[in-house]
Amino acid sequence: MRSDLRAHERLTVSGPIVLVWKDGDRIRSIYGLAKNLSTGGALVQSYRGLPVGSFVRLRSNKLFFMSGCAKVQHCARRGLTYHIGLKFYSDLSSRF
């Protein structure tokens, strides 16, 4: 049995989200589905992966509180999709 070492409690969410990042001189974006959320980060499921360490902006029309900047902490393939772990640059609690 694995103990949960997370710094913040997770809340299950489900909603569309857009991740935007700069790739050289190009601005790129992918669509994903937010899966869970904490004050410090989120898990997004997408059909495309992102490099660990990437700086992304995120926004969602449905999940209005999920907007801001984050760093890709991990990205792992799960079947046909990727699970992208994001760490917010500022905690949600400090923004609202």
Alpha helices, H only, the chain: 92-95
| pLDDT for the residue numbered 61 | 83
| pLDDT for the residue numbered 56 | 96
Q: CA dist 28 to 16, 20, 22, 59, 71, Å?
A: 17, 6, 6, 14, 15
| pLDDT for the residue numbered 20 | 95
- Domain ranges for the chain: 11-90
* From the candidate CATH numbers 1.20.1540.10, 3.40.50.2000, 3.40.50.300, 2.40.10.220, the one assigned to the domain spanning 11-90: 2.40.10.220
pTM for the whole thing?
Answer: 0.83
| pLDDT for the residue numbered 94 | 52
CA angle 76, 30, 28 (to 5 degrees): 115
Residue 21 CA to residue 24 CA, distance in Å, equals: 10
Residue 10 buriedness (CB in 10 A; 0-12 / 13-18 / 19+): middle
- pLDDT bucket at 1, cuts 50 / 70 / 90: very low
- pLDDT bucket at 96, cuts 50 / 70 / 90: very low
pLDDT, tens digit (0-9, with 9 covering 90-100), for 9-67? 778 888 999 999 998 899 999 999 999 988 889 999 999 999 999 999 998 888 777 78
Query: In a 3-state reduction of DSSP, which class is residue 95?
Result: helix
| pLDDT for the residue numbered 32 | 95
Answer yes or no: is pLDDT of 2 > 50: no
